[in-house]
Amino acid sequence: MPKIVQLSQHVANLIAAGEVVERPASVVKELLENAVDAGASQVTVEIRDGGMTFLRVTDNGCGMQAEDARTAFLRHATSKLRSAEDLAAIATMGFRGEALAAIASVSRIDLLTKTPGAIAGTSLHLEAGNITEESEAGCPDGTTIIVRDLFFNTPARMKFMKSDTYEGSRVAAAVQQQALAHPEVAFKLIRDGKQALSTPGTGDLGAAVYCVYGRECANMVKVESKWENYTLTGFVSKPTDARPSRNLQTFFVNNRPVKSKILIAALEEAYRNQIMVGKFPACVLHLYLPANTVDVNVHPAKTEVKFLAEKAVFDCVHYGVLGALNKTPDRPQVQFKPAPAPTLPPKPAPIAPQQSSPKPKADFYRTMTAEEFKTFSAALTDAPKPRPEAAAATAAKIQQRQSLPLYSPVKLPTVAPVSKPEPAAEEPEQTVLPMPEEIPWHLVGELYRSYVIVEQGEEAFLIDKHAAHERLLFEKLKANQEAITAQNLLAPIPCRLSPESCAELLSNQGLLEELGFEIEEFGDNTVLLRQIPMDLSPEDAADALETIAADLLSGRRESKDAVRDEVLHTVACKAAIKAGWHSDEKELLALVKQVMENDDLKYCPHGRPICISLSKKQLEKQFKRA
Ligand code: ADP
Ligand code: MG
């Protein structure tokens, strides 16, 4: 039997490093958290080569005395926990006293630190976690940590690093996130000698958001709402300023950055019917709730959360955002007029709302604050309930009167057209089927600038012009496997993106070129578009690029073909004629011709129907002629 030995400190640190230190950005995240914990009001991050060779974080916080500076690099050394009772704090803040030890074990470190009031500071040098030099040093109050040659002693990890541009962008994202988490701290990022970010640190979240999200997000709406002991503050974009991806959605729970499907759903529910499909609101939202109602994963690299009361969290965010959006005067008003339905009796109201204390209007839910909603829903629970037998009887009556569904998805002929060569020998039934007669069709017109009406024999078709065009373009792009015809732009278009999107696009330049996009790095999270696909209009190019970045980011683990399809779909969608646009008859005819002659144009790439049919028989039934 091999003897059991305790792992050496160094090996234990390396294991911890594997968890905590994934890449330069994770080092920055840990060092920034420490600086904020140390009470700093100014923090500067400087990186070179994406942070791989040089990474420095300077703060003006409380600093460390010589002895503390030495112990700080020991595993489980923390000044933030003293006893087992404090352990609860681990769950909320993630203090584990591991970060410095872990970072030090995979790099070379210089530390300079001085407490205010001390005459001299301390300077330490560490190699792979061991202190090799120590001296007194003259330095300002606060702490500076320089991390050099990250992963120099763990080549396996080094191999996982992407380009310096990519790693640098991840660092930028980490700094941005802290800047949004702590508007009271002034953050600076210097990337390869150039200033990439600077926030004022005045405590004004709006100012921090402006610095991080840029000018396009200058018109965001302030959110401030309270719900029991939950507080929601922050900014959300107006419905008219929706973005092509979710990249600018940032959520914090008790100041910790989190990723949460519930929070996203609650936010987006507040925009329902106000923004187009495929567009997303931007936000920076801080949710504060009692520590014992949330379980933040203690794994330092993860950002998942679990809420004890998911419904309450959803409502708090949903109604908080809804309330804020309703207060902005220039929001396009959504009208809720009851649709006239003279042939059917009115639906039985499930609850008698007029009996509840606050008088509900048609758009009542949309203008309620969280508190109002609570009073309202409480009143509803007290309100008399409908008699289920009566409701069931009425429902049955409605059912009886309602005839078949008006429209059904079209079944286009699946039999090969006359021109199709070689009736396949292995499919004999095709050869015996009689060829369908070519029934002539004609264009009747267009409804709502969206649906083209075509009549063919005893059948009418409604074709969604955007969906159809999108599908045709997609097929064309896909068939044209090699290169897509591109157009050079006279004036390059600058696109400001999130650091991750920027990095993802820059590391996929080959694929983008195949697709007709030529981009160039411009710095400050901006890329220049020099060339775009022929089918895309320059006005749509920036949007398309951002969506493509989101496709690439979300599909990173999928096959290259799947990602390519997704990207082609985005190009097709952006390049297609839109519902609501005016199309002249010639354009519509060309489109309809392709749809009518193509035997499998049933669905667009996203599975939405392109064409629905309405037969003469169905109409006759509706009008009680049959
Ligand atoms: P944790 O933050 O979980 O306590 P770390 O390994 O990140 O663990 O840091 C260890 C300790 O070093 C901290 O508890 C703190 O006392 C000290 N420390 C780290 N960074 C700083 C800093 N920038 N300023 C002052 N003290 C610091
Ligand atoms: Mg720490």
pLDDT digits (tens, 9 = 90+) for 430-441: 334 334 457 888
152 C-alpha to ligand 1 centroid (Å): 23
Q: Which residues have any ligand 1 atom within 6 Å of their CB?
A: 30, 34-35, 38, 59, 61-64, 72, 77-80, 95-100, 143
pLDDT given for residue 297 in this prediction: 57
The per-residue pLDDT for range 524-537, each reduced to its tens digit, is 888 999 999 887 88
CB atoms within 10 A of CB 63: 26
Length in residues, the chain: 626
* Tokens representing residue 155 in the block: 């080549």
Within this chain, do residues 155 and 263 fall inside the same structural domain, yes or no? no
Strands 186-191 and 42-48, bridge-based pairing: parallel
Tell me if residue 488 falls in helix, strand or coil. strand
Within this chain, do residues 157 and 54 fall inside the same structural domain, yes or no? yes
Tell me if residue 366 falls in helix, strand or coil. helix
345 C-alpha to ligand 2 centroid (Å): 65
When the pLDDT of each residue in the chain is averaged and rounded to a whole number, the result is 77
Handedness of CA 151, 154, 157, 161 (dihedral sign): positive
85 C-alpha to ligand 1 centroid (Å): 20
147 C-alpha to ligand 1 centroid (Å): 15
Whether the predicted pLDDT of 391 surpasses 60: no
Identify residue 158 by its one-letter amino acid code. M
Within this chain, do residues 93 and 193 fall inside the same structural domain, yes or no? yes
Q: Classify residue 336: in a domain, yes or no.
A: no
* Domain span including residue 320: 219-327
Whether the predicted pLDDT of 541 surpasses 90: no
- Return the closest-CA partner of residue 212 out of 187, 166, 176: 176
Ligand 1 atom with the smallest distance to the CA of 98 is: 6
Within this chain, do residues 275 and 164 fall inside the same structural domain, yes or no? no
Average pLDDT in the 342-354 region? 37
Give the residue from 282, 308, 327 where a domain finishes.
Answer: 327
Residue nearest to atom 16 of ligand 1 (CA): 79
- The closest ligand to the CA of 57 turns out to be 1
Within this chain, do residues 21 and 154 fall inside the same structural domain, yes or no? yes
Lowest-pLDDT choice from 108-117, 327-336, 413-422: 413-422
CA quadruple 19, 20, 25, 28: dihedral, nearest 10? -170
User: pLDDT category, 237, cuts 50, 70, 90?
Assistant: very high
* Tokens representing residue 239 in the block: 């419905």
User: pLDDT category, 136, cuts 50, 70, 90?
Assistant: very high
72 C-alpha to ligand 1 centroid (Å): 6
Identify residue 129 by its one-letter amino acid code. G
Whether the predicted pLDDT of 313 surpasses 90: yes
Average pLDDT in the 496-521 region? 88
User: pLDDT category, 83, cuts 50, 70, 90?
Assistant: low
Q: Among residues of the chain, what percentage have pLDDT more than 70?
A: 72
Dist. CA 127–CA 133, nearest whole Å: 9
Whether the predicted pLDDT of 333 surpasses 50: no
Residue 198: exposed, middle, or buried by beta-carbon count in 10 A (0-12, 13-18, 19+)? middle
Q: Classify residue 365: in a domain, yes or no.
A: no
Q: Classify residue 78: in a domain, yes or no.
A: yes
74 C-alpha to ligand 1 centroid (Å): 11
pLDDT given for residue 306 in this prediction: 83
Ligand 1 atom with the smallest distance to the CA of 103 is: 6
Average pLDDT in the 379-398 region? 42
Whether the predicted pLDDT of 559 surpasses 70: no
Residue nearest to atom 8 of ligand 1 (CA): 97
Q: Classify residue 281: in a domain, yes or no.
A: yes
CATH assignment at residue 553: 3.30.1370.100
pLDDT given for residue 205 in this prediction: 95
Whether the predicted pLDDT of 600 surpasses 70: no
Probe target for ligand 1 pocket from 27, 37, 41, with the most ligand atoms within 8 Å of CB:
37
Ligand 1 atom with the smallest distance to the CA of 95 is: 3
Residue nearest to atom 20 of ligand 1 (CA): 34
Q: CA separation (Å) from 227 to 118, 313, 328, 353? A: 46, 9, 21, 23
pLDDT given for residue 318 in this prediction: 94
Ligand 1 atom with the smallest distance to the CA of 145 is: 23
Tell me if residue 14 falls in helix, strand or coil. helix
Place of tokens 């649709």: 339
Q: Classify residue 204: in a domain, yes or no.
A: no
99 C-alpha to ligand 2 centroid (Å): 5
Dist. CA 148–CA 349, nearest whole Å: 68
Classify residue 195 by its DSSP letter: E
- Return the closest-CA partner of residue 599 out of 373, 418, 466: 418
Of residues 65 and 425, the one with the higher pLDDT is 65
The per-residue pLDDT for range 166-222, each reduced to its tens digit, is 899 999 999 999 999 999 999 999 999 999 999 999 999 999 999 999 877 788 999
594 C-alpha to ligand 2 centroid (Å): 62
Of residues 423 and 201, the one with the higher pLDDT is 201
Q: Classify residue 344: in a domain, yes or no.
A: no
* Tokens representing residue 529 in the block: 């578009």
Report whether 321 contacts 223 (CB < 8 A): yes
285 C-alpha to ligand 1 centroid (Å): 27
Average pLDDT in the 310-333 region? 78
Q: Classify residue 96: in a domain, yes or no.
A: yes
Ligand 1 atom with the smallest distance to the CA of 30 is: 7
Within this chain, do residues 80 and 169 fall inside the same structural domain, yes or no? yes
pTM listed for this prediction: 0.60
- The closest ligand to the CA of 89 turns out to be 1
Q: Could you tell me which residues come within 8 angstroms of residue 454 by beta carbon, excluding any fewer than 6 positions away?
A: 441, 442, 443, 444, 460, 461, 463, 592, 596
pLDDT given for residue 467 in this prediction: 87
12 C-alpha to ligand 1 centroid (Å): 19
Of residues 557 and 506, the one with the higher pLDDT is 506
Report whether 305 contacts 252 (CB < 8 A): no
pLDDT given for residue 241 in this prediction: 87
Q: Classify residue 321: in a domain, yes or no.
A: yes
The per-residue pLDDT for range 602-620, each reduced to its tens digit, is 555 555 678 888 888 888 8
Within this chain, do residues 233 and 188 fall inside the same structural domain, yes or no? no
Report whether 522 contacts 494 (CB < 8 A): yes
Ligand 1 atom with the smallest distance to the CA of 61 is: 24
Q: Among residues of the chain, what percentage have pLDDT more than 90?
A: 35
* Tokens representing residue 115 in the block: 């407490």
Dist. CA 72–CA 115, nearest whole Å: 14
Whether the predicted pLDDT of 152 surpasses 70: yes
Spell 515-533 as b/e; 16+ CB within 10 A means b.
bbbbbeeeebbebebebbb
pLDDT given for residue 418 in this prediction: 31
* Tokens representing residue 493 in the block: 């278009």
Within this chain, do residues 261 and 306 fall inside the same structural domain, yes or no? yes
pLDDT given for residue 296 in this prediction: 65
Residue nearest to atom 21 of ligand 1 (CA): 34
Residue nearest to atom 17 of ligand 1 (CA): 72
Structural domain tally of the chain? 3
Probe target for ligand 1 pocket from 28, 79, 87, 144, with the most ligand atoms within 8 Å of CB:
79
Probe target for ligand 1 pocket from 80, 90, 100, 256, with the most ligand atoms within 8 Å of CB:
100
Within this chain, do residues 110 and 36 fall inside the same structural domain, yes or no? yes
pLDDT given for residue 156 in this prediction: 79
Within this chain, do residues 230 and 112 fall inside the same structural domain, yes or no? no
Q: Which residues pair with 55 in a beta bridge?
A: 47, 147
CATH assignment at residue 186: 3.30.565.10
Ligand 1 atom with the smallest distance to the CA of 142 is: 24
Ligand 1 atom with the smallest distance to the CA of 94 is: 3
352 C-alpha to ligand 2 centroid (Å): 55
66 C-alpha to ligand 2 centroid (Å): 18
Report whether 499 contacts 513 (CB < 8 A): no
Of residues 559 and 477, the one with the higher pLDDT is 477
Within this chain, do residues 101 and 233 fall inside the same structural domain, yes or no? no
302 C-alpha to ligand 2 centroid (Å): 15
Classify residue 49 by its DSSP letter: G
User: pLDDT category, 52, cuts 50, 70, 90?
Assistant: very high
pLDDT given for residue 285 in this prediction: 98
CATH assignment at residue 272: 3.30.230.10
Dist. CA 339–CA 593, nearest whole Å: 35
148 C-alpha to ligand 2 centroid (Å): 19
Within this chain, do residues 47 and 161 fall inside the same structural domain, yes or no? yes
pLDDT given for residue 377 in this prediction: 42
Ligand 1 atom with the smallest distance to the CA of 62 is: 25
Dist. CA 559–CA 275, nearest whole Å: 31
- The closest ligand to the CA of 86 turns out to be 1
- The closest ligand to the CA of 98 turns out to be 1
Dist. CA 476–CA 594, nearest whole Å: 12
Ligand 1 atom with the smallest distance to the CA of 100 is: 6
Probe target for ligand 1 pocket from 19, 34, 36, 65, with the most ligand atoms within 8 Å of CB:
34
pLDDT given for residue 618 in this prediction: 86
User: pLDDT category, 398, cuts 50, 70, 90?
Assistant: very low
Whether the predicted pLDDT of 427 surpasses 70: no
Residue nearest to atom 14 of ligand 1 (CA): 78
Residue nearest to atom 13 of ligand 1 (CA): 78
